[in-house]
Structure 1
Amino acid sequence: MKTSNWSAQALALGLLMGALPAPSALAQQAGAKRIYTCVDNSGRTLTSDRPIASCIDREQRILDGVTGHQQGVLPPSYTEAERREIERQQQARQEEQRRLRDQRQRERVLLMRYPNQQAHDAARTIAKEQVQAVIRGSELRLEQLQEARQKLDAELEFYGNDLAKAPNALKRQFDNNRRDVEEQQRFIEAQRQELARIDALYDAELGALKALWGR
């Protein structure tokens, strides 16, 4: 009878052990658990076994429930309007980065071209002399037109200084002379404005260069 009882107990224990999961299976089940963690607007660190609603607008780290090792990151969840705003901000940052790169490139070129103020002053002088030479040529042409007008005025005296009584050929010469004078005057004025523009350009460059030379 004792042997029979011991056999029955052993059989029951075997059935019980067979029904229990193996230790490795228990570890796998425990390891499958995930922990979500984030820092909210108040600076508090929150943890949960599911995505945290108050951190929906920020990244949430996903940790292994047993080891605590990070398994991944849950990205923020945004509305359509929020996504558009984020894209706009990203584009603005990229444009600003491009602007800064372009500015640094211009500064390098400027320093290579003008290593000191003497080089910059010499370049300004050359640029202005070219325009001044054009102005002198136009002023000479204007003097020639004025001399031609004096000859026309002398010829008009024969008609009592009355252009209405002058022949058509003489009238056309007066008209042509007037138009040429006006054209030269406009051209000279435009070149003087160009001189002012050159000075303004070199003044602005000089201000930037002084800051660069001082670095």
Structure 2
Amino acid sequence: MNLLRGCPAVLGLLLAALGTVAVAQPAAGPAPGIYSCVDKNGRRLTSDRPIPECIDREQRELSPTGTVRRVIGPTLTEHEREVLEAKRRKDLEERNRIAEERRRERVLLARYPDKAAHDAERAAAITHVDEVTATAKKRIAELQERRKKIDVEMEFYRKDPAKAPMNLQRQLLENTEEMAEQQRFISGQDQEKRRVHQRFDAELAQLKELWAARVVPPQAATATVPAASR
């Protein structure tokens, strides 16, 4: 010690080293918590770790002073987790469905701002179907004219059509098949016209509600006008 008093520089280095050691020592961690819960039999249990008897119920972690650090929810079983996940997926699907429905409504309103726009598109769709049907009917008329010529040639083989030339028999068969095909096509267009009307009828019913929801009630509009301006 006398040696240190005589050497101030050595004493300073020694004190600095001791200070560094003191700083380098880690601070003490937080005090361990106390877990507390009431089990299914009504008993209050405490432990220095999560309590297995309360795995199906809420537990509280307390500090040494008795304040609540956190609340730990019940640990779910595998079946309970599956049920919870299924509910989560169902809720998500429902939210997505509602969002998609709102998106379609916005698109519908943008496309048909009023009934006149909707009526015009219905008329255009029906006109298109009628034009396609008219083309098929025109083709049927052509086939009927062709059939008359074939029937004239087949008249020579009326008693035994099997004796008619193969080329003539093939023309007769093709004419019959194409005539039937055009008739089926026209029938399909009649069904398409009904589907078009059904689609536009369903849209119109929905649009009437959407159009009505956009209209601000007169009393609401009046209420927004400042008293000084009336």
TM-score (structure 1 length as normaliser)? 0.71
Counterpart check, 1:93 vs 2:91: yes
Partner of 2:212: 214
Structure 1 gaps, min length 5: 1-30, 39-45
For 1:91-118, what per-residue CA distance to the aligned partner results, in whole angstroms no more than 9, with x for missing partners? 1111111111111111111111111111
1:189 to 187, 190, 193: 187
Asked if the contact 2:125–2:196 (Cα under 8 Å) also holds between the matched residues in 1, the reply is yes
For 1:99-153, what per-residue CA distance to the aligned partner results, in whole angstroms no more than 9, with x for missing partners? 1111111111111111111111111111111111000000010111011111111
1:74 to 35, 51, 72: 72
Give secondary structure in 2 for the equivalent of 1:214: helix
For 1:77-102, what per-residue CA distance to the aligned partner results, in whole angstroms no more than 9, with x for missing partners? 11111111111111111111111111
Partner of 2:201: 203
Partner of 1:120: 118
RMSD (Å), alpha carbons: 3.0
Measured at CA, do residues 59 and 67 of structure 1 come closer, stay the same or move farther in structure 2, by a change above 3 Å? closer
Identity %: 43
Structure 2 gaps, min length 5: 1-30, 214-230
State how far apart, in whole Å, the 2-side matches of 1:194 and 1:84 are. 46
State how far apart, in whole Å, the 1-side matches of 2:205 and 2:98 are. 18
Asked if the contact 2:35–2:62 (Cα under 8 Å) also holds between the matched residues in 1, the reply is yes
Report how many residues are paired: 180
Please say which of residues 114-123 and 152-161 is displaced more in the overlay. 152-161
TM-score (structure 2 length as normaliser)? 0.67
Partner of 1:174: 172
Measured at CA, do residues 176 and 123 of structure 1 come closer, stay the same or move farther in structure 2, by a change above 3 Å? same
State how far apart, in whole Å, the 2-side matches of 1:182 and 1:62 are. 83
Residue 171 of structure 1 aligns with an amino acid whose one-letter code is: Q
State how far apart, in whole Å, the 2-side matches of 1:48 and 1:65 are. 16
